[in-house]
Structure 1
Amino acid sequence: MKRQASVPGLAVPRRPFALKVSVAALAGIGLSSAMPSFAQQANEGEVAVVQVSGVRAAAQSSLDIKQKADNVVDSIVADDIGKFPDTNVAQTLARVPGIQVRRDAGEANSVLIRGLPGIATMLNGREMFTTTGRYIQLADIPSAMLQRVDVYKSQSPELVEGGIAGVIDVRTNRPFDFKGFTLSANGGVKNQDKAKKTDPEANGLISNRWKTEYGEIGALFGLSYVRNNFHEERSFNTFPVQKDWLLPNLTGPDLVGLQGIYGERKRTAENFALQWRPNKDTEIYAEGIYSRYKNKDETDFFVGLPWWAPGDKISATKIAGTDQIDELTSHDANTILSTQARASQNTTWQTAIGAKWNAAPGLRLSTELARTKSKYDWRNPILDAMVTVPDVFVKTNLNGGAFVRYGGMDMTDPKNIYLFQLFDRYGNDKGASTDWRADASYTPASDGFFQEFSAGVRFNKRSAESIKSVEGSMGAPDAFNPSTRVSVATLPGMTCTNRALSEDYGTAFWYTPCASYLLNNTNDVRQAVTGSSAAKALDQGSFFSVNEKNYAFYGKARVGFDIASIPVDGVFGVRVTKTDSDLLGYSMVNGVPVATPKSSSGTDTLPSASFKATLRKDLIARLAYAKTLTRPDFSQLNPGTAYVNSNGNTVQASASGGNPDLKPVTGQNVDAALEWYFAPAAMVSGTVFRHNFDGYIVGRAQPEVYQGVNYLTTRPFNTDKGHLQGVELSYQQFYDKLPGWLSGIGTQLNYTYMEGGVTSSSIGPGDLTFPGMSKNSYNIVLLYEKNGISGRLAYNWRSKFVQVYGDTSAIKGTAPNRDLIAAPTSSLDGSISYKFTPNLSLTLTGTNLLNFKYVDYWTDANVYPRDTRRYDRTVGLMLNWKN
């Protein structure tokens, strides 16, 4: 019996098998309570031709995947070839129920599934990662290359282990996805309002398939290029500390200031796929992807030091009813004008070759060999300059953030500015992996309770290493001597001014070191600041490397039966995984590196099962269970420790390092769902979930004795348990019965509520919500498709969340710890297309249409604000053509 389309998690058509005593029988043999949740990954050799065009077809395809899957799955499908809703995958995923993202410099970067970062990422069903990480940075992938993205919230034995939160599988096109010759090209421009730049983007795909005397052959090649300039602006206060030398019980920030973050991102990628079917029972394929993410940007700092002034020239007032500073005036106060220049490049490539074979009636075999490499190089020189400003006025909370007005002199004139200190930072990470897997599945010829048996093995060899330069600043020797300090004007090419800000933060323009000069002439800057052009040495104490081998076996069975005339499909199985690791780090003892190797080994058994009851043709109930795990990050496993001995009797010696004895975090996950597919491209669903975690990793400081000295040592430990529970609600429908043009309207609505956290004595009493998790989030999406017009308007919102529990002052003991909280965040994005002909369309896009303002604060937003951030609003125009 053949399967249906090639969608991971699709069920095999079931033969009915009535169980008159089904529940009792299962309980009697101990299976009723041991059938955890899982999804069947279909045979990808039998591919249904992909014919998706328009927002309605994409919405319908997403529901088809969800309905037919065994897992609890949500998918996003491209509107057309090269037409994914957003610039990168992370931004697109923000509209999936239960997904929450963080944004930086105006675009989404980090992704959480149900509030947790422990995810596994795959590309076309195989593991994908970035350098020393356990998963790929989804923001690095140009979304124009994608066919769809699947988010697995319940897991099955054949899926790569590694995600207590879930698995994200990014899918690209293959030549057998299309009927024949296919050519697609998309090109256009996008304008960023704060960056005041218009940038190009383009993607293309060519694919064909041929019937020959040697069988059917298909070939595909795709490419993508995205460039965008960006400008993020911030005003900030630092942590509130005691300032009672000025007023009784006064607290206030040590620093206030402004930041302009400006830069350019380039994402380029190429992918290929070859498929060959010499006969109807055999397929051989090869595919690969090569992506590059280049980033060059700068942060232009205006760091106000209002307290760095003569005491008789400072006055302040408090916020009513508090001890926190409201307004401050001072004279002849020092100020730091700084540029952080950054240049980085991340390259990742993966190639794979595999084969699938229908070896005998009902027996299917497959195998695949893949190679992945990733490299990340970065440089981050930082130059601080200093100036004394006659007149200073600060208000710590005006319109939600700091207002910093410095005047009485020209702060853009380099002759008034002096060299202060240089931070000379650089480093690199790299990772590589070789994966081999083999799978077999057997479908019995006769009807019965068991519908299919599957098994597979996997071998993975992974290596990673990281190193960076010695941290710390190199100060200009005469920075505080008015007669000998060095003006920045003595450095040619270092005279720049910050870019214009969109709001009035008090100070509009100031001198800032030129980022391009810092990056291109770093030796000259070192010479001017320190008297030597030599770069800081690489820090042997920061180095770590790992060689990891993973062996995995899985077995699963598909069953089908009826209970009271209700068809039930089930899949249950187990994955056994063994990991051997060889770690190397260096402990720095008073500046001397000491090699610290460590070997470890561990085996985990991960059962899972899922059941899907078809209550009616359009009504499905699901129950799923899975044991999951997430392995510690390689940096957390670093066996090296940096020891800093004390030179006195009043300050304890301290140390920090990783923990090579960390165990994986494990989760016991249960999902229950009800889905009603009540009309074409329409659905209402509800999912409840509960996850219990063991061995949750948190940092903790405790005394450790090394070479006879007692050090207060900070490192991560498996000491905590946690839980997460919640509900996801979704609704989608097109309103076909509305009159005329209104019949093209559709909506997608979803809402997620989550509650849970971790019990940790190291960060506070009681259960604490997971850092980064919002309890509430929702999406409101308006869709339209009629008369050649298609569009999408999407609003995303998430409630406040804790970033850091017990955040502290850099000056220990001067203020109580406070939680750092991010206020609710939202975004409104949209697109509208017009199809001139069946082959040609024009698309207008927009992001951040409401000009969202990000705010975070310590404990109370009205008293202790930290950052206020504003991002680019973008408008893009794309011409789309396909044959």
Structure 2
Amino acid sequence: MRNSRTRVLRSRVPSIGSSGRFGRAALSAGCSVVALGAFAPVAWAQDSAPGTVDTENVIVVTGVRASLERAMDIKREAYGVVDAISAEDIGKFPDTNLAESLQRIPGVSISRVNGEGSQVTVRGFGPQFNLVTVNGRQIATTFVNAVGGDQDVDFSRATGRSFDFNNLASEGVQRLEVYKTGRAAIPSGGIGAAINIVTAQPLSIAGSGLRGSVGAKALYDLSNEDFRVDPEVSGVLTWSDPEETFGVSLFGAYQKRESEAVSATSNAWNVQPFSSFPGRGPSTVVTGAPADPATLVAVPNDSRYHYSEFERERINVAGTVQFRPVETLTFTADAMFVRNSQSEERTDQTNWFNRPFDSITFDPSDAVPTAVFIEEGSGFGTKDLGLEQQFRAVETELQSFGLNAEWEIASGFTLRLDG
């Protein structure tokens, strides 16, 4: 649940001279304005001279102190290298999923599918080398990139055990923690990092009673001519008793997106020595040929053109119940349900190149000279073409249930049971 605190300090500093530049006198005047406004606002209003105020030279300082303090506290109290981002930080940007929120942490980069963040790379280690947990609990994950609009998803080659952050909405998270060094308190298995997703916990929010928030987003997508606005709605509801010993939180999010994509690629590249690549004949005109016939060259096998229409529907539901009978003992039960349905209608046209070529041009500046222009052989009367109509669909469902007990036996010594 986001708790945004923004302080704006505004002071109007009159310009010095006709050039409007600030010197040392201008800085002193600005400090005087702030001091008088803080200690004697009534006297300042009485002593001010009548007339208009020059609004050209206005200094506006905006800071988010609480968010920075929380991030610093997490790093200061951690035993290893830890970076964290809170719900307040996440709420400042129109992120569509957790991957786009994580990319704001130093050392974290993401990959995208259909323009949305999907997988995370930390310190140069790919998604398969990072461990993802929810509330400190490892979850079974899989990644099947069968809907994506590019050649890499043919025959479901892009599969693995890495976590797809596109399944989770960013609004339902209280905190994201990235552990770049190992700790005894977290599961092992993350060579790059261990990423812990902390969902909303009612007793960790200051105050009691019933609180809630509702959010709505609209994505304006230029790729879709028929349905350009994609909606997303979310809501968080939290309640705790006056003694703050019992609390309940609920979260729900729904997003539907329709988009289109057009792309061009090659199905495969022939990488062979220049002396033996199959596209050259006795009459082939070669430009930019390497001096050494043993040099490897790259020539495309064909050209492919894709047109795809995508539809995605994502549902997130999460709930947490906490009970704290004494200050040092807390019981937590949490549940999460995620369903991400994706479908794609795709049209492919393939043109296989006739050989030998009439002419071919290489880029000699590459380590492996690559063909940048090809004129197909004119001696062939038959053209080899391919047309495909495909329908692809993937539905991902994630269910997570957990029960946790945390007992602070003594200062600096805590016993935690989780299942």
Q: TM-score range by the shorter chain?
A: 0.5 to 0.7
> What amino acid is the match of 1:353?
L
Match of 1:316 in 2: 359
| Matched-pair contact (CA < 8 Å) for 1:82–1:145 | no
> What amino acid is the match of 1:344?
V
Match of 1:239 in 2: 269
Residue 121 of structure 1 is aligned with which of 110, 114, 132? 132
Work out the CA distance in 2 between the residues paired with 1:362 and 1:93: 29
Structure 1 residues 691-730: aligned runs within 5 Å: none
Q: Deviations over 1:417-452 (max 9, x none)?
A: xxxxxxxxxxxxxxxxxxxxxxxxxxxxxxxxxxxx
Q: CA 1:349–1:249 in 2, change beyond 3 Å: closer, same or farther?
A: farther
Give the drift of 1:263.
Answer: 0.4
Q: CA 1:262–1:61 in 2, change beyond 3 Å: closer, same or farther?
A: farther
Match of 1:326 in 2: 373
> What amino acid is the match of 1:261?
S
**Percent identity between the two aligned chains:** 24
Work out the CA distance in 2 between the residues paired with 1:320 and 1:154: 44
Work out the CA distance in 1 between the residues paired with 2:417 and 2:70: 28
Give the drift of 1:198.
Answer: 1.3
Give the drift of 1:249.
Answer: 8.7
Q: What SS is found at the alignment partner of 1:187? A: strand
Give the drift of 1:352.
Answer: 0.9
> What amino acid is the match of 1:176?
L
Give the drift of 1:255.
Answer: 0.6
> What amino acid is the match of 1:202?
V
Residue 307 of structure 1 is aligned with which of 338, 349, 354? 354
TM-score (structure 1 length as normaliser): 0.33
Structure 1 residues 622-661: aligned runs within 5 Å: none
Q: What SS is found at the alignment partner of 1:341? A: strand
Structure 1 residues 89-108: aligned runs within 5 Å: 89-108=98-117
My pick for the range that moved more, 298-307 or 341-350, is: 298-307
Q: As a proportion of its length, which structure holds more helix?
A: 2
1:66 has 2:88 as partner:
no
| Matched-pair contact (CA < 8 Å) for 2:90–2:101 | no
Give the drift of 1:134.
Answer: 5.0
Give the drift of 1:94.
Answer: 2.1
| Matched-pair contact (CA < 8 Å) for 1:106–1:232 | no
Give the drift of 1:152.
Answer: 0.8
Match of 2:175 in 1: 148
Work out the CA distance in 2 between the residues paired with 1:148 and 1:216: 22
Give the drift of 1:243.
Answer: 0.9
Q: Deviations over 1:262-314 (max 9, x none)?
A: 30122211000001122334322211111111111133212112428xx8xx7
Residue 189 of structure 2 is aligned with which of 141, 162, 171? 162
Match of 1:264 in 2: 311
> What amino acid is the match of 2:72?
L
Match of 1:194 in 2: 223
Aligned CA-pair RMSD: 3.0
Give the drift of 1:325.
Answer: 6.2
| Matched-pair contact (CA < 8 Å) for 1:144–1:203 | yes
| Matched-pair contact (CA < 8 Å) for 1:77–1:84 | no
Work out the CA distance in 2 between the residues paired with 1:175 and 1:108: 29
1:290 has 2:320 as partner:
no
Work out the CA distance in 2 between the residues paired with 1:63 and 1:82: 18
Q: What SS is found at the alignment partner of 2:105? A: coil
Q: CA 1:358–1:163 in 2, change beyond 3 Å: closer, same or farther?
A: closer
Q: What SS is found at the alignment partner of 2:245? A: strand
> What amino acid is the match of 2:135?
N
Residue 206 of structure 1 is aligned with which of 237, 253, 257? 237
Give the drift of 1:248.
Answer: 4.6
| Matched-pair contact (CA < 8 Å) for 2:109–2:120 | yes
Q: What SS is found at the alignment partner of 2:99? A: helix
Work out the CA distance in 2 between the residues paired with 1:275 and 1:295: 34
Q: CA 1:249–1:100 in 2, change beyond 3 Å: closer, same or farther?
A: farther
Work out the CA distance in 2 between the residues paired with 1:173 and 1:61: 16
| Matched-pair contact (CA < 8 Å) for 1:53–1:80 | no
| Matched-pair contact (CA < 8 Å) for 2:284–2:358 | no
Work out the CA distance in 2 between the residues paired with 1:256 and 1:360: 68
Q: CA 1:225–1:252 in 2, change beyond 3 Å: closer, same or farther?
A: same
Q: What SS is found at the alignment partner of 1:79? A: helix
| Matched-pair contact (CA < 8 Å) for 1:120–1:134 | no
Q: What SS is found at the alignment partner of 2:256? A: strand
Stretches of structure 1 lacking an aligned partner (at least 5 in a row): 1-48, 370-883
| Matched-pair contact (CA < 8 Å) for 2:2–2:87 | no
| Matched-pair contact (CA < 8 Å) for 2:363–2:372 | no
Q: What SS is found at the alignment partner of 1:284? A: strand
Match of 1:785 in 2: none
Q: As a proportion of its length, which structure holds more strand?
A: 1
Structure 1 residues 493-532: aligned runs within 5 Å: none
Q: CA 1:350–1:323 in 2, change beyond 3 Å: closer, same or farther?
A: closer
Q: CA 1:358–1:66 in 2, change beyond 3 Å: closer, same or farther?
A: closer
Q: Deviations over 1:718-738 (max 9, x none)?
A: xxxxxxxxxxxxxxxxxxxxx
| Matched-pair contact (CA < 8 Å) for 2:284–2:360 | no
Q: Deviations over 1:114-166 (max 9, x none)?
A: 11121111111111231486553222211121122111111211110001111
Work out the CA distance in 2 between the residues paired with 1:71 and 1:112: 19
Give the drift of 1:327.
Answer: 3.6
| Matched-pair contact (CA < 8 Å) for 1:225–1:269 | yes
Q: What SS is found at the alignment partner of 1:90? A: helix
Work out the CA distance in 2 between the residues paired with 1:67 and 1:337: 59
| Matched-pair contact (CA < 8 Å) for 1:50–1:177 | no
Q: CA 1:139–1:224 in 2, change beyond 3 Å: closer, same or farther?
A: same
Residue 341 of structure 1 is aligned with which of 364, 369, 391? 391
Structure 1 residues 334-733: aligned runs within 5 Å: 334-358=384-408, 364-369=414-419
Q: CA 1:257–1:246 in 2, change beyond 3 Å: closer, same or farther?
A: farther
Q: CA 1:77–1:364 in 2, change beyond 3 Å: closer, same or farther?
A: closer
Work out the CA distance in 2 between the residues paired with 1:116 and 1:231: 31
Work out the CA distance in 1 between the residues paired with 2:97 and 2:4: 20
Match of 1:173 in 2: 200
Give the drift of 1:364.
Answer: 4.2
Q: How many residues align?
A: 315
Work out the CA distance in 2 between the residues paired with 1:236 and 1:135: 26
Q: Deviations over 1:634-663 (max 9, x none)?
A: xxxxxxxxxxxxxxxxxxxxxxxxxxxxxx
> What amino acid is the match of 2:191?
I
My pick for the range that moved more, 243-252 or 295-304, is: 243-252
Residue 280 of structure 1 is aligned with which of 327, 348, 352? 327
Q: Deviations over 1:685-705 (max 9, x none)?
A: xxxxxxxxxxxxxxxxxxxxx
| Matched-pair contact (CA < 8 Å) for 1:82–1:204 | no
> What amino acid is the match of 2:269?
F
Q: Deviations over 1:500-548 (max 9, x none)?
A: xxxxxxxxxxxxxxxxxxxxxxxxxxxxxxxxxxxxxxxxxxxxxxxxx
Q: What SS is found at the alignment partner of 2:191? A: coil
Q: What SS is found at the alignment partner of 2:79? A: coil
Q: Deviations over 1:561-616 (max 9, x none)?
A: xxxxxxxxxxxxxxxxxxxxxxxxxxxxxxxxxxxxxxxxxxxxxxxxxxxxxxxx
Match of 2:252 in 1: 223
Work out the CA distance in 2 between the residues paired with 1:341 and 1:123: 33
| Matched-pair contact (CA < 8 Å) for 2:248–2:319 | yes
Match of 2:22 in 1: none
| Matched-pair contact (CA < 8 Å) for 1:150–1:169 | yes
| Matched-pair contact (CA < 8 Å) for 1:59–1:77 | no
Work out the CA distance in 1 between the residues paired with 2:106 and 2:414: 35
Q: CA 1:216–1:84 in 2, change beyond 3 Å: closer, same or farther?
A: farther
